[in-house]
Amino acid sequence: MKPLSTFSWDDVRLDPWPIPAANILGGSPDATGALVYITPDKTSCSGIWQCLPGRFRWEYTWNETIYVLAGKGEIRSEDGECCPIVPGKMLHFSEGLSSVWTIEETVRKFFCLQSDQPLQL
C-alpha cells in the first residue's frame, strides 16, 4: 500500500458482507462493505460499510469507531443505552459489546477496527 492513499467514500466498490441469518430480527438488512486499509499484522483496518433497512443483533469481537456518512436509525446496547445513527455522528464500540441495530434508512459508515489479535474478516 502506498504511504499516502486517497479515496472518495462514494466511489469505493462495496462487496457483499452478509449479516448472519441468525442475527437478523426483522427486515432485509443486506450489508456491503470494503476495506480501504489494513495493517500488515491485521490488527487494525478501516473501510466503508453500508446496510439496507432492517434490524439485527451484533456482538463486537473488536474495538470499532465509526463515522456515519448517511442514513438513519439507532443502536441499542444490551443494557438499554440507545445511540442515534445520523449523518455526522461518531460512535465507539468496545470489544464485547452486545447490541441491536435498527436501520430505518440505508446507513453508510466509515469504520476503523482495532484488536490485539489479527482481525478475522
Query: Locate cell 441468525: which residue?
Result: 22
Over residues 49-60, the pLDDT tens digits come to 999 999 999 999
pTM: 0.91
36/45 Cα distance (integer angstroms): 8
2: pLDDT confidence band, cut at 50, 70 and 90? low
9/36 Cα distance (integer angstroms): 10
28/6 Cα distance (integer angstroms): 32
Number of Cβ within 10 Å of residue 75's Cβ equals: 20
Residues 112, 46: contact at Cβ < 8 Å?
Answer: yes
Instruction: Return the domain boundaries, the chain.
Output: 15-114
Over residues 27-81, the pLDDT tens digits come to 999 999 999 999 999 999 999 999 999 999 999 999 999 999 999 999 999 999 9
Question: What is the average pLDDT across 83-101?
Answer: 96
Q: Mean of the per-residue pLDDT values for the chain?
A: 93
Residue type at 96?
Answer: G
CA of residue 88 relative to chain centroid, distance: 15
Please, what CATH class does the domain formed by 15-114 belong to?
mainly beta
pLDDT beyond 80 at 7: no
pLDDT beyond 70 at 4: no
63/41 Cα distance (integer angstroms): 16
Among 3-12, 49-58, 89-98, 109-118, whose mean pLDDT is lowest?
3-12
